[in-house]
Amino acid sequence: MHFTLRQLKVFHTAARHLSFTRAAEELHLTQPAVSMQIKQLENSAELPLFEQLGKKIYLTAAGKELFDYARNILLQLEEMEQVLEQMRGVRAGRLDISVATTANYFATWLLAEFSQNHPDVTIKLDVTNRAGLLQQLEHNDKDLVIMGRPPEQRDLVAEPFMDNPLVIIAAPGHPLCGEERIPLQRLQGETFVVREQASGTRSAMERFFSTRDITLNTGMEMTSNEAIKQAVEAGLGLGIVSVHTVKRELEAGHLVTLNAEEFPILRHWYVVYRRGKRLSPAARRFREFVLRRADHSQYGTMDLT
């Protein structure tokens, strides 16, 4: 049987998602390129690996067998690369990290600073929401992740390094602007523009209000903080976002924060990785850099943006 590691990787990703489209997205390929690699693998296996029933695809018995082998082969390869990387040291290393959509507002600054001191480290940055990050951690796809507190039960190491206050934002002319200690009940009469369900900001906000028996009127749902800011500025409602995302708009007076009881909701940012993961020298160095950089700012907010 002749096959390439690339075909195996494409097959493994498609099998993991049970979707050629999602595999194409993850691997930054087109969908026909994914189908082609899998077709070639099926040809050399002389067996179909996927079958389509209705709109869904499933692994065939041969596909399931191959999936187990592919996973082990790819894990071995990764370990091999890591061992070689350890031997080469941090100089020529690679850093493959993923950060929460909201953390991207400061992560790029952190990376820029790190990269200045380690110019030969190749950096790959992925930006996705909380649910996406948890999935990547589960699949051991990344060296490190920067996100809000991960769930306790996962087999993860999570080290806090910076505060992440969530604030209520409004357009400058909003009737609640300038009021002091707005009671949370008053917010029930307002419409909120919110992030998608899979977002950490969204779940923190929902947890906060549901433990206080308050039901917010959620209007439009958006997958980006930028879109929320625009919508709030345009008067479509109030928003709840991390303060990291609105620094510039607050300074320019395009948005204001409301002074509500118990606000801001205080969250933290964490550097997260799988327990027992053998971190590459570059990843170890980056972790130390983030924790040290945070220490420097006395575990408040880093002056980055």
CB of 218 to ligand PGA, least distance (A): 15
Contact status: 200 vs ligand PGA (CB under 6 A)? yes
Q: Which is nearer to ligand PGA, 147 or 258 (CB)?
A: 147
Binding-site size, ligand PGA (CB under 6 A): 12
- Positions in 8-67 near ligand PGA (CB under 6 A): none
Task: Closer to ligand PGA by CB, 65 or 206: give it.
Answer: 206
In eight-state DSSP terms, residue 175 is T
Q: Does 199 bind ligand PGA (CB under 6 A)?
A: yes
Taking the complex as a whole, the smallest distance from the CB of residue 108 to ligand PGA amounts, in Å, to 14
Q: Which of 147, 246, 265, 302 binds ligand PGA (CB under 6 A)?
A: 147
**Binding ligand PGA by CB under 6 A: which of 82, 98, 101, 280?**
101
Alpha carbon distance 283, 277 (integer Å): 11
**Strand 191-195 vs strand 217-222: parallel, antiparallel, or unpaired?**
parallel
Alpha carbon distance 140, 239 (integer Å): 33
- Name which position in 8, 50, 136, 148 contacts ligand PGA (CB under 6 A): 148
129: contact with ligand PGA by CB under 6 A: yes
Q: Is the peptide bond before 150 cis (omega within 30 degrees of 0)?
A: no
For the CA atoms of 79, 81, 82, 86, what is the dihedral angle to 10 degrees?
140
Smallest gap, in angstroms, from Cβ of residue 45 to ligand PGA? 39
Q: For residues 100 and 133, what is the distance between their CA atoms, to the nearest angstrom?
A: 7
Reported in sequence order, the residue ranges of 243-295 that DSSP labels E, i.e. its strands, are 256-257, 265-274
Q: Which residue is nearest to ligand PGA (CB)?
A: 200
Residue 183: left (phi > 0), alpha (psi -120 to 50), or beta?
Answer: beta
Cβ neighbours, 10 Å, residue 1: 6
67-75, 80-88, 94-102, 113-121 -> range binding ligand PGA (CB under 6 A): 94-102
Q: Shortest gap between Cβ of 131 and ligand PGA (angstroms)? A: 8
Beta partners for 239?
Answer: 169, 193
Residue 239 binds ligand PGA, judged by CB under 6 A: no
Closest distance of CB 147 from ligand PGA, Å: 5
Of 16, 2, 124, nearest to 74 by C-alpha is 16
Q: Toward ligand PGA, which CB reaches closer, 90 or 100?
A: 100
Question: Taking Cα atoms as reference points, which of 266, 270, 243, 290 lies closest to residue 150?
Answer: 270
Query: C-beta of 111: minimal distance to ligand PGA in Å?
Result: 17
Q: At its nearest, how many Å lie between ligand PGA and the CB of residue 194?
A: 10
Give which of 161, 169, 93 is closest to 300, Cα–Cα: 161
CB atoms < 10 A from the CB of 275, how many?
9
Angle between helices 5-17 and 20-27 (to 10 degrees): 120
How far is Cα 175 from Cα 236, in angstroms, rounded to an integer?
Answer: 13
Residues within window 243-272 making contact with ligand PGA, judged by CB under 6 A: 267
Query: In the complex, what is the shortest distance from the CB of residue 128 to ligand PGA, in angstroms, rounded to a whole number?
Result: 8
Q: Quick one: which of 82, 201, 280, 301 contacts ligand PGA (CB under 6 A)? A: 201
Residues that bind ligand PGA in the complex, under the rule CB under 6 A = 100-102, 129-130, 147-148, 195, 199-201, 267
